[in-house]
Structure 1
């Protein structure tokens, strides 16, 4: 493991100011290559001016490949295509392909604070730069688990202590998860700009599932992809600081399928979508009380009044999985603990 790339542990003698300047340049190169407005602290964008034509060429290639996925994302999308195929949807919800890829430790942390400042505030989180690194304070720092765990039907059996959700409702929630309001897509780093960058951020994790047994068996990991609206990049800073950054999913050396000795064969995906708590039960396709099964009535998966919110407007997580070894979770909250626990859920 490259500790510098994965966890930011390395040569502490490196000049901190120079390191931050290089990080700012890297961030702006990635913004430019995704067609987003750049964000420089002092208008010193000489490097981007020099590389202008090269970046335009790279952006055009990105656009032409916008229907292609990284290998890990392709495995997840293939699962969604199979899982939702029997619903006869006009189009199956698809993973975003143009995202700000957090391919090394520290990028998420820098993006979570307003450029040239030491803090950031939104409706979901307050972040502060401190001597030890960063302090994130999400609006919800504790949650109850009662009634918050939902599982889509159609895959493996749903335990009695979890809420069973119709597959068409999962598909609707997934579609809304990939279409958050513009304000939620704004990157904190660019929040004070007149034209701030707005996009999803994504992260690859490779948590250890089976530790190495020297002389007997190699260490094995699974792959988990995180997708979050830009405003929630601090959540990804949190999880990568626990489990380590898994690298750039577009490069072959980070493709789990090319490392069969160390891959368990499982793929996970976690999507942050706190805006889903505003959806009504009717809007997500739940049946009316008169048409519901007894289990749906017992679990609140139906409605009597048209304005009843899904899960009573409270935070929840919903997942879909089957025997193929792929699991997709949607977290309708930015409580940091959900992100950490969801990685542990995928592992188990």
Structure 2
């Protein structure tokens, strides 16, 4: 892993932010691409936010990219471009919580702070057969105390990385390789013969599904209307085609017309359905229905925190979009689509 071959705190920080919600094999190409584009904290701080989001596109949880960008600007502005070397200094930066602060402090600066990510939680709850719900704050405090007590003060970075990678490669969620594990002699869950019982978590709820209708709003020059999502929304800062959720009993084309009236103050005529795709997020699934549209009344007037642009299909590549919208863009290019609404 490339972030294991550097002592640059900036690059270690970037890797830990990426790994918060992403598997190692998924994160590695994004890490390479991101650090090629922004090799230093100064480069990241000076970049336009849209450029940062474009490099992050497809990795998900986009608030991580926005916060990383803001934190880099803080490091340059308030710390002279030097990443803070203490746990508290790191934790003061936007987007850095206890886990990331401990990881960067231990790996980059040799500070004895135990990390507590999903892999470490799984190892510790199995070794100590912790019966309490691992998502509860009290249980997390107990686990953090264990991680801090167990970390090697002489080599905290290596100790933390070893524990994380033990969880990722040996003490796996399903079919853990207990016979290959160096902690098996002291592991209470392995001794009892049911390691997969841990960590204890609440019962999963059914994953909801939403039908989403979006408008491919064309002007007479063949340009498309796109809008940027509010920073405080899911996928904040990314661009999208305007639209929203279908209400109960509402057809997607009716939802498309209603949403564009509510969001932008325009009345549109819809053409035949252009494309339908399914996409899964971490906590819900969607079916996206896209309709070519022509404005028949009104002028698009977005909310102040949702700026809009008219762009050509080729220019869509210059903007950062959610993955579902990107699939739609690829289909527009593949078909070399031109609307029939103005014929």
Q: Greater Rg, structure 1 or structure 2?
A: 2
Q: TM-score, normalised by structure 1?
A: 0.24
**Hey, which of these two has a bigger chunk of helix by percent?**
2
Q: TM-score, normalised by structure 2?
A: 0.24
Greater length-normalized contact order (CA 8 Å, ≥ 6 residues apart): 1
**Hey, which of these two has a bigger chunk of strand by percent?**
1
